[in-house]
Amino acid sequence: MLTARLSLLVEEGVLERRRYQERPERFEYRLTEKGLELFPVLISLMQWGDRWYAPDGPPRVVRHRECGGAVDAQLSCERCGSRVTARAVRLEAGPGARAAA
């Protein structure tokens, strides 16, 4: 099922498949420019779901890689004020992750 989803995202140009190891052969999936443009939409949907469906807090928190600040709905770092892109963030376990475990 996951393989079919990944294949569809590759076919649609959202992800690209890159080999990173030959023996055994292994691949990683990287966002394309088309995929990177989905970042604001995905963050907005994630934050909406956290607000309405995560009573114990968000399961994941989006942080600015550079300073560790939380990313707000306008895709700005709450700590340093920088606008962030998909490649400038990392996901961390949030308070809701512990509740779901």
Query: What confidence tens digit (pLDDT) does each residue in 20-64 have?
Result: 999 999 999 999 999 999 999 999 999 999 999 999 999 999 999
Are 26 and 60 part of one and the same domain?
Answer: no
Are 85 and 68 part of one and the same domain?
Answer: yes
Are 65 and 100 part of one and the same domain?
Answer: yes
Q: What is the 3-state secondary structure (H, E, C) of 57-88?
A: CCCEEEEECCCCCEECCCCEECCCCCECCHHH
7-20 pLDDT, tens digit per residue, is 999 999 999 999 99
Tokens 């560790």 sit at which residue? 68
Whole domain around residue 16: which residue ranges? 1-34
This prediction's pTM = 0.73
Are 45 and 85 part of one and the same domain?
Answer: yes
Are 12 and 47 part of one and the same domain?
Answer: no
Measured distance CA(99)–CA(101) in Å, rounded: 6
Domain total for the chain? 2
Are 51 and 99 part of one and the same domain?
Answer: yes
88: Cβ contacts below 8 Å, ≥ 6 apart = 64, 65, 66, 82
Token pair listed for 61: 């928190």
Are 43 and 78 part of one and the same domain?
Answer: yes
Are 49 and 83 part of one and the same domain?
Answer: yes
